[in-house]
Amino acid sequence: MRSDGDGAGGQGRPAGDTLADADRTRFADLLVLVATRQDRTAYSELFAYYAPRVKSYLMRLGADNAQAEEIAQDVMVTVWRKAQLFDRTQASVSTWIFRIARNRRIDVFRRTKKPDLDPEEPMILPSAAEAPEARVESMETETRVRAAMKDLPEEQLLLLRLAFYEGLSHREIADKLDVPLGTVKSRIRLAFGKMKARLDND
């Protein structure tokens, strides 16, 4: 049975937390391009829209800033690597991505033995999506994201390429480059921090 929710978990959504049909279709088309063509431009637009929302959702679930950012990075890498598993007849892109985030968050919290929160609690569901007229701004953001990546040091850019374009996990990158796993995570976190600072200043 198809889920039309655009919130986390696919179990319905609060009033206002919706995407217009045109936007829902557009995001699904973008994810299909990622799945079938490994389209980097399509992925960049998805990343620009969903990454901050996933991070915000994770923080609402109790993750601190650093942990939420790390999990959000992992979620977006999974979106790139597993895009072919998305079925637009079964769920919207938002439902699919936030379900990945929810599952990642549960895994991490279980490992750290932190108390589990109810991810369906209305008070911690993702914030309302942008209005349809924000599409132009989203496209501009995608262009800015690509420009920000070009300003990164080569070692950080390499890690992003391995993670998003070659689909390697943090552990696989560490093994490939023969560097500690913590170094990979910290450098990717630093890269995203620099990109965020660049985007905030544009």
Residue 52 lies in a domain: yes
Whether residue 156 is found in the same domain as residue 110: no
Domain range for 190 is 151-202
Tokens representing 162? 């391995």
Whether residue 88 is found in the same domain as residue 183: no
- Calculate mean pLDDT across residues 34-54: 92
Whether residue 28 is found in the same domain as residue 95: yes
Which of 71, 100, 132 is the last residue in one of the domains?
Answer: 132
d(CA 148, CA 161): 14
Listed range (5-19, 43-57, 70-84, 172-186) with the worst mean pLDDT: 5-19
Residue 120 has pLDDT above 60, yes or no: no
Residue 81 has pLDDT above 70, yes or no: yes
Residue 55 has pLDDT above 80, yes or no: yes
Residue 163: CATH number of its domain: 1.10.10.10
Residue 77: CATH number of its domain: 1.10.1740.10
Q: Where are the alpha helices (DSSP H) in 112-169?
A: 135-150, 154-160
pLDDT at 144 (0 to 100): 65
Give the CA count within 13 Å in the CB-facing half-sphere of 179.
Answer: 12
Whether residue 82 is found in the same domain as residue 162: no
Buried b (16+ CB within 10 A) or exposed e, 118-146: ebeeeebbbeebeeeeebeebeebbebbe
Give the chain's domain count: 2
Residue 97 lies in a domain: yes
Q: Which residues pair with 3 in a beta bridge?
A: 91
Residue 1 has pLDDT above 60, yes or no: no
Residue 193 lies in a domain: yes
- Calculate mean pLDDT across residues 168-186: 84
Residue 16 has pLDDT above 60, yes or no: no
Contact 73, 188 (CB under 8 A): yes
Residue 142 lies in a domain: no
Three-state SS string over 165-191 comes to HCCCCHHHHHHHHCCCHHHHHHHHHHH
- Calculate mean pLDDT across residues 102-117: 68
Task: Indicate yes or no: pTM above 0.85.
Answer: no
Whether residue 14 is found in the same domain as residue 45: yes
Residue 145 lies in a domain: no
Write out pLDDT tens, residues 121-137: 443 445 444 445 545 55
Q: Which residue has the higher pLDDT, 180 or 202?
A: 180
Whether residue 90 is found in the same domain as residue 172: no
Residue 144 lies in a domain: no
Whether residue 83 is found in the same domain as residue 26: yes
160: pLDDT confidence band, cut at 50, 70 and 90? confident
pLDDT at 18 (0 to 100): 55
pLDDT at 187 (0 to 100): 84
pLDDT at 119 (0 to 100): 47
Whether residue 27 is found in the same domain as residue 99: yes
d(CA 178, CA 180): 7
Whether residue 200 is found in the same domain as residue 115: no
Whether residue 181 is found in the same domain as residue 107: no
Residues whose CB falls within 8 Å of the CB of residue 36, separated by 6 or more in sequence, listed in order: 84
Residue 138 lies in a domain: no
Whether residue 111 is found in the same domain as residue 193: no
141: pLDDT confidence band, cut at 50, 70 and 90? low
